[in-house]
Structure 1
Amino acid sequence: MKSDSQLQHDVLDELEWEPSIDQADIGVAVTDGVVTLSGFVKCYPQKMAAEKATRRVAGVKALAEEIKVRFASDPKTADHEIARRILDMFSWNVSIPDDKIAVKVEHGWVTLSGTVDWYYQSDEARKVAGKVNGVVGVSNLIELHKLPTSGDVKDRIVAAIKRNADLDAASVTVFTDGGKVTLGGKVRAWNERQIAESAAWAAPGVTRVEDNIVVV
């Protein structure tokens, strides 16, 4: 008597052997000899061919057929296709270290995990994943590497603010507590406030920015 894993292997082999079937998007699960086919095919004859191919495999006790027909013009929104598209977009984006981020998709909901060096890398990955067709939500569980000292974070932020010609560095105060940065002071316009906040987020190890800068 075949085990479920052996039966699953045999069904996959039979689907691959059948020339009338494109089995790339067909999933096979087996429980106590009952085979469940899921996924997508490009036409109804392929759906029927997959069913026939499965039934002729020795050891199949019953078949649950959940394959859907999807035409070439239909949107590609299966979980594995969403994940593949996200990975492709990550590889094209120089701001995202795709080798450090793992992607999981379940019923259209994306979970990102891994560890990166900078907050903007995590935030960019979240934004890119959310733009993919078929995504219903994103859980960003990406972590940052070990935080530098608070003093180092503060020095980098202050230096970045001083380098910006559009912002009076003396008018902005910076306080750090681990990965948290609190900005204070007064500026003349909203864009100056945004410049200071962007400088804070750009520092390595920053996980939270509390912007208390007042526009006067």
Structure 2
Amino acid sequence: MTQIQHRPDHHLKTAVADELAWTPSVNAEGIAVSVDGGAATLAGHVGTYPEKQAALRAATRVHGVTTTVDRILVRHGHAIPADVDLAREAMAVFDRRTVLVPKNSVQVDVRDQVITLRGSVDWHHEREAARRAVAALPGVSGVRNLITLRPRRESPRPRPKHGSSRRWPGTRPGPPSTSRSPSTTARSP
């Protein structure tokens, strides 16, 4: 039986702090790290929501970290916009067509600088593009992406014509046809 070697928490704490320091999009000076049983807690403040996301991703990259606890606050260096202004700016991103999502497929709600996206799109890349576009807006403290993917209809499989020898994907050839009548089958006594 093999045993899994776990890294001590103080080694994990150092490794997470080093990973944060080496991540170019994160200013690690405002983030404190603590580790307990492989769970890394990041606490402190950052300047933007994308920086917060990058810090959390950096911590999960460290071998031995089992989960991350997010206690990071986004502190904006400028005046915090009102929720109404932030919602207006988020909708403008979609109206300017800078994000490739179908028109009128995404609705925006804002509360306490946290943007909630609702609606449905056809493709996952459209869903992620919408999230990334609003996350980069100044004044955003968080994004909840509740956009769903529309179910895709499968086109019906064409049925083979009678007598066709072509097999369709997912079918197996059957055993060779050996139809013997009971009267011609020899039976031993």
TM-score range, shorter chain: 0.5 to 0.7
Where do 1:18-33 residues align within 5 Å? none
When normalised by structure 2's length, the TM-score is: 0.61
Cα deviations by residue, 1:98-146 (Å, 9 ceiling, x for unpaired): 1111111234331110011222222221221122122233211111226
* Structure 2 unaligned spans of 5+: 152-189
Q: Matched residue of 1:164: which SS?
A: coil
- 1:165 CA drift (Å): 5.5
Matched, 1:205 2:140: yes
Q: Percent identity?
A: 26
Contact persistence 1:201–1:209 (CA under 8 A)? no
Question: Highest Rg: 1 or 2?
Answer: 2
Q: Is the deviation greater in 107-116 or in 191-200?
A: 191-200
CA-CA distance at 1:171 after TM superposition: 4.1
Q: Which has the higher helix share?
A: 1
Task: Name stretches of at least 5 consecutive residues in structure 1 with no aligned partner.
Answer: 1-74
Contact 2:121 2:147 in 1 (8 A): no
Q: Larger % of strand: which?
A: 1
CA 1:185 to 1:123, structure 2 compared with 1: closer, same or farther past 3 Å? Answer: closer
Structure-2 residue corresponding to 1:145: 75
Alignment TM-score, normalising by the size of structure 1: 0.54
The answer to whether the 8 A contact 2:131-2:143 is kept is no
**What is the Cα-based RMSD across aligned positions, in Å?**
3.0
Q: Find the partner of 2:33 among 103, 117, 122.
A: 103
Q: Deviations over 1:67-121 (max 9, x none)?
A: xxxxxxxx79232222222222112212211111111123433111001122222
Q: Which residue of 2 aligns with 1:113?
A: 43
| 2-structure distance, mates of 1:145, 1:169 | 32
Task: Deviation per CA, 1:148-181: give whole Å up to 9, x if none.
Answer: 3112322332343335252345543323222232
Determine which of 115, 125, 129 is the counterpart of 1:181: 115
* One-letter amino acid of the structure 2 residue matched with residue 106 of structure 1: D
Q: Give the direction of change, closer, same or farther, for the CA distance of 1:136–1:191 in structure 2 (3 Å limit).
A: closer
Q: How many residues align?
A: 143
Question: Whole-Å Cα distance in 1 between the matches of residues 23 and 97 of structure 2?
Answer: 27
Residue 110 of structure 1 aligns with an amino acid whose one-letter code is A
1:1-216 to 2 correspondence within 5 Å? 77-145=7-75, 147-161=80-94, 162-164=96-98, 166-185=100-119, 187-203=121-137, 204-212=139-147, 215=150
Give the structure, 1 or 2, with the largest relative contact order (CA under 8 Å, sep 6 or more): 2
Deviating beyond 6 angstroms after TM superposition, the runs of 4 or more aligned structure 1 residues are none
Contact 2:117/2:144 (8 A) holds in 1? yes
